[in-house]
Amino acid sequence: MAALRIQSDWSRALSRDEGEAWLSCRCPGKPTLYGSVTRRGLSSEGIPDIAASEGFLVQEVTKKSILISCPHENVSTKFLAPYTTFSRIHQKSITCLDISSGGGLGVSTSTDGTMKIWQAANGEIRRLLEGHVYDVNCCRFFPSGLVVLSGGMDAQLKIWSAEDASCVVTFKGHKGGILDTAIVDRGRNVLSCSRDGTARLWDCGKSACLGVIADCGSPVNGIAVGTADDSLNLGAPENPPSEREIGTEGKILLLAREDKKLQGVGLQSRQPVFLFVGSDAFNCCTFLSSTYILAGTQDGNIYQLDVRNTNAPIQVIHRSGAPVLSLLPYQDGFIASQGDGTCFILQQDLDYVLDLTEADCDPVYKVASWEKEIYTCCRDGIVRRYQLSDL
């Protein structure tokens, strides 16, 4: 698909008279089109009056967004500037973040070696979660919003109280750094995947491993758990499941693997359901529904698959060759972030792409959402908060 790009600091550039920002429209297999938008003044409502150079059209402008189309490629993109940015949470690159179920708290990890809980409204730090050795790779809130799950390069999985920052459980068993986690239902069981090639199921109450769900022989970069469509055969477990397994029945675990494979495994049965081979290493995966899934690769492909028949993808979305780093279901579509600083939303009811701007060329590692608010974290160490209600 054609991809429209705009200068990352366009909202600042266009905040002054005669301000200008560059544009480009890249379509696979064709020469890139270049242009610019220029501010000519202010309307009586205080909205910038902006014109585009030849080949581009400005269709709508607000204080935080600009809708631009390239008629030649039949593509339109609405560029959205952040509502607020938080630059003081961490000192270095922010590798993961999540927002609590009530929208009040954020948690994030950084290459500065820290994991912190902060106020989602203003970025004010509330708690420092200390206990991992080396970098923390991933963090997420439990559905309650009061507890955090984290995984680190120290091969440890930890559960923390968001209220007093105490580490209440530590799981050990992986032989390599933990790369992603998932929570089953309300969180009596959790899942992790690792550089050691395995995905494991854990019992939070007894702090014990309930089993290895898959052993892939290749690092597992990302996982997602979802309820499977009724027509899908998930297989039967070889041994009766432990009574400590809660909520695993009827679930499928997706594994985004380094060896270019996306795998589906019955969570309770531990049996393989499908294996799809992609164009490059898979970095991330998610469920759109009980039948539709998404997975992103290192070479910029986003595969949409139907779990009932994974022989061929429903579609492959490719906006740039940069690694797809994070995928998140959002309303009737999804949000994707990539290694070239792009972060975009595709929705069925929108005839344009929504582009969350300002990360420049720094990788956007993770996206989290709460209602109409979207948070991103980036190599530049900044958390950006976008308000879709502004649209």
Residue 279 CA to residue 27 CA, distance in Å, equals: 19
CA angle 290, 291, 297 (to 5 degrees): 105
Query: DSSP strand E in 162-291: where?
Result: 167-171, 178-184, 189-194, 198-203, 208-215, 220-227, 251-257, 261-266, 272-277, 282-287
Task: Name the pairing type of β-strands 353-356 and 75-80.
Answer: parallel
Residues 181 and 270 in one domain: yes
Domain count, the chain: 2
Last residue of a domain, one of 58, 80, 102: 80
Q: Are residues 239 and 206 in the same domain?
A: yes
| Mean pLDDT in residue range 31-37 | 95
Judgement on whether residues 350 and 265 belong to the same structural domain of the protein:
yes
Q: Are residues 334 and 242 in the same domain?
A: yes
Assess whether 155 and 73 both reside in one domain: no
Tell me the C-alpha distance between 220 and 184, whole Å: 18
End-to-end CA distance of the chain: 24
- Cβ atoms < 10 Å from Cβ of 72: 13
Four-residue CA torsion sign, 114, 116, 120, 123: negative
> Are 130 and 19 members of one domain?
no
Same domain? For 352 and 267 the reply is yes
pLDDT tens digit string along 135-149?
Answer: 999 999 999 999 999
Q: Are residues 228 and 341 in the same domain?
A: yes
The verdict on 29 and 59 lying in the same domain is yes
Domain that holds residue 122: 84-387
pLDDT for residue 156 is more than 80? yes
Q: Average pLDDT of 232-237?
A: 94
pLDDT per position as a tens digit, 246-285: 999 999 999 999 999 999 999 999 999 999 999 999 999 9
- Residue 214 confidence (pLDDT) above 90: yes
Question: What φ, ψ does residue 77 adopt, rounded to 5°?
Answer: -135, 135
Model pLDDT, residue 142: 98
**Confidence class for position 390, pLDDT limits 50, 70, 90:** low
pLDDT tens-digit series, residues 63-88: 899 999 999 999 999 999 999 999 99
Mean pLDDT for the chain overall: 95
The structure's pTM equals: 0.96
Among 80, 100, 115, residue at a domain's last position? 80
Q: What is the spatial distance between Cα 137 and Cα 133, in angstroms, rounded to a whole number?
A: 11
55 shares a domain with 99: no
- Indicate whether 24 and 66 sit together in one domain: yes
Q: Which residues pair with 170 in a beta bridge?
A: 158
**What is the arithmetic mean of pLDDT over 210-220?**
97
| Secondary structure class of 390 (helix, strand, coil) | helix
- 137 and 171 together in one domain: yes
> Is the pLDDT at 338 greater than 90, yes or no?
yes
pLDDT value at 391 more than 70:
no
Domain end point (choices 20, 50, 80): 80
